[in-house]
Structure 1
Amino acid sequence: MSPVMDETAGDLPVRDGYLYFWLPLSLSLSSADPQRLFRFPREHLEDLCLRLQEENSVLGQHTRTQEQRMSTRLIRLRQARPGSSAVKERDMEETIQELEARVAMLESQKAVLQNKLSLAKQHIMDIGGRTPYKFSKGVYVAHECKSMEVEGGVRRAAQTAPPRYGPTLEDTRAEMERL
């Protein structure tokens, strides 16, 4: 029995690994002892269940898109005459539609990643933030920052940029004055 191959044969999803990789070789789900499943932690079984549900939804979505693609191709092939340039134009239109769908998917992934990045930046800002008060005594007392210096009654701002490594402009000027 030879399978019929077409241009969509490469679109079929393929599972990379064995599904029940976490089960020992001596165990299987079809064993006669149902109590063996209770030996696994509940969190592990819940995680496996969620993974299977997610895989099922992804496969269902893939199946729907393949069915839609195949139905549109079938309709177009029925309407097209053999040897006409309309078939080539429709193939190009299909390619354009597929590329547009891919662009939309990549844009949505980009938006998700940008959202994650902004959340991570906000989290870093929340963690790294300093408070202007001391809490150790239970009384709010203004906290004098070590990096603030008083020169002639004017305070300099705390260093906001990370320290530079290597020679700075001030070091170079001081070296030139010494020479």
Structure 2
Amino acid sequence: MAGDSVRLSKNLMRMKVESSTGISTFVPTSSMMSEVMDETAGDRPVRDNDKAGDVRVHPSFLSRMAREDLEDHFLNQKEDIQRLKQQINKQDDKYKKLGTKLSRLVKDRRRMEHLVAGPAAPLSNVEMEEVVEELQDKVRALQTDKETLSRRLLLVRQQQLNSQSQRAGPYAHVKPRVNTGAKRSGSSSPAARLRGE
């Protein structure tokens, strides 16, 4: 029994591997795999082929580990998670700062381009008058176009109303089965027909 606990502590030491980020991870070793047995597999070792990457340890193996080792492993994992969260927050802050710096640089670049281009050269009075006359001619042409288009629109609307009132619907020859209260053109109301008017 004492040999088992020594072997387990050695396996735990092998399982603790320092990665390049300084975070300890729980990695099962081949000797540990040989010790973890599945009851249905007889004496053959069972390997966890989970593609998600999480490490699963047989419950009997965990029950053989010392409570202090499990607590240490748990606390180490908890500290690693906290460190990772802090790193993530720092990276997010860096991204935000870089984004604001980038937007400032883009604005500064636009300002510099406008300064290099210089203000537009002022036009002389004669040129200004010519520009104003051209714009007034365009406004007059647009107003005449607007008037002609409004006349056409009015004409089309009138034609549409006339065609709708003259055209009979596809079921105009069928009498309604329900009294909707709508009056028919060319005939008296249903109530008047019932009274005999």
Q: Return the structure number with greater relative CO, CA threshold 8 A, min gap 6.
A: 2
Do they superpose with TM above 0.5? no
Identify the structure with the greater helix proportion: 2
Q: Which is higher, the Rg of structure 1 or of structure 2?
A: 2
Q: Structure 1 length as normaliser, TM-score? A: 0.33
